Amino acid sequence: MMQKLQRFGAAMFVPVLLFSFAGIVVALGCLFNNATIFGSLASPTTGWYKVWDTISAGGWTVFNQECLLFVVGLPIGLANKSHGRAAMESLITYLTFNYFVGAMLSHWGAFFGVPNFNKITITANATNGGLTQIAGIKTLDTSIIFSLIIAGIVVYLHNHYFDKKLPEWLGTFQGSTFVYILGFFVMIPVAFLTCLIWPKVQLGINSLQHFIVGSGFVGIWIYSFLNRVLIPTGLHHLVYIPFQFGPAVVAGGLQPYWLKHITEYAASTKPLSQIASMEGFQLYGNEKVFLVPFICWAFYATAKKNKKKQTSALLIPAALTSVLTGITEPIDFTYLFAAPILWVVYSVMAATMNTIMWCFGLRGLMSDGAIGIASMNWIPLWSNHWHVYVMQFIVGIVCGLLTYFIFKLMIEKFNYVTPGREADNEDVKLINKKEYKEKMAQQKMTQQKIAQQATGVAESDPYIARAQAYLELLGGSSNIEEISSCATRLRVTVKDPDKLGSDAQFKANKAVNVVHHGKAIQVIVGLDVAQVLERMQALIEKNGH
């Protein structure tokens, strides 16, 4: 079950990767068209306004079509083969499902409890009686929930029937066509049940929204803690995605909601806690900006004297990456397994800090690092809300200092092997043993030739050596049952964990670390994991697996 949940969480992350850039584009458009900052230049009649409004319109693409993105993205992460065809099958089946729903409600709306279906006109920024438009189809607003359900059904059909051999006279219906035929008929009862059940579920979602909003600081703390502590399992995606991009709090998700109203928030002199009361579940970028640098400081302070220079060379770039971009994994996995209790402490401190900030009135879209937070919060809203941001920095620095002292005390008291405290014969960067490096050097030319034959790319390709090395360290192609990736990690299900190489061998090939959950393995590669995965898949296919 854990393996399936991890793989599902990784697949959900495929479309989520697009949201950060799109959010910054929209925020910049709102910023540069903010009359309180740019005055008459931001008037709707100026060329300046029209240019930035056009750019913002492009940025809204991701948010306006997020249901379609999840429908296409999930098969890319979950299909066993022919991912592109699986994505196409998922898209057309999802559209078919919505056409069925629209037709059923049009003809029998009263029976399903939607008697005004044909009379309701879909308008922007309205609940529309629980209805919406998807790709021009008037249908029930099932948000990303049914995007994931339909995509999951199609992935199952694709993995089981895409290679189904039909009689010669039916050969034209093989492959994607056969999957779509099956999906077409499956969608009829699915659409019927959706029309029957979903209007009632929508009422339940509305009740859940009120419960979450009314739970106050307790709900904020629990959400923030789970969103951080579950990172090693990869299940944190299942925590924040329904809030940030789904209907858990507001229709359409909190991130699009914030961006749609950011100009309104910027112009208002009322506290954010009043005008954006529900926007308290996206504050988890604060731990990336305020806590991680102090954790790095604690590691440096407790490092051995003869390793401080090496430790600082490792930690400074990682800390800057966390603060500026919100990518924390280079730091997270340097101590997560050496001292897991520190990870729990970090999660508790992150949840506590976010909750304190929330209690002092902080609201906003703060899921990234300082660049994203500044473009979507500090810069456009500073004029009228600088007081709460000054408070944010004060609380963040105080909590950061407290985290520093707790980490330093625990590291020294319990002698945790954090960066810079390794044995004297081990390097801070955890480079492999000399024997293994020599072996890898001898195999380098062979690996490049094999990879070149498998991928058809030049030997200068920077990803081939790692792809070949990871494949061998995972026990070879025959030992891999499933392989996918999220933002920075390879997620692999192996047949025999005993065939794996050591963690040190993975690290010698530029992996940050390795996570073990029985047969479910995560190799933390970095932001170029998608390119490494592509080379590995080509090698696996070349080997006939």
Nearest to 534 by CA among 473, 485, 492: 485
With a CB cutoff of 8 Å and minimum separation 6, the contacts of 136 are none
- Integer Cα distance of 55 and 328 in angstroms: 30
Indicate the pairing of strand 137-140 with strand 480-485: unpaired
- Integer Cα distance of 147 and 132 in angstroms: 14
Q: Which one from 30, 67, 296, 486 is the annotated catalytic residue?
A: 486
The helix or strand, by DSSP H or E, that contains position 517, with its residue range, turns out to be: strand 513-517
Catalytic status, residue 486: yes
Report the amino acid identity of residue 51. Answer: V
- Integer Cα distance of 231 and 292 in angstroms: 15
Longest dimension (CA), the chain: 78
* Bridge partners, residue 515, by sequence: 522
With a CB cutoff of 8 Å and minimum separation 6, the contacts of 5 are 233, 234, 235, 238
Rounded to whole angstroms, what are the CA distances from 374 to 56, 254, 319, 368, 389? 17, 18, 18, 10, 10
Angle between helices 237-244 and 216-229 (to 10 degrees): 130
Alpha helix (H) ranges present in 360-378? 370-373
Question: Residue 346 is encoded by which pair of tokens?
Answer: 């970090």
Catalytic site residues?
A: 486
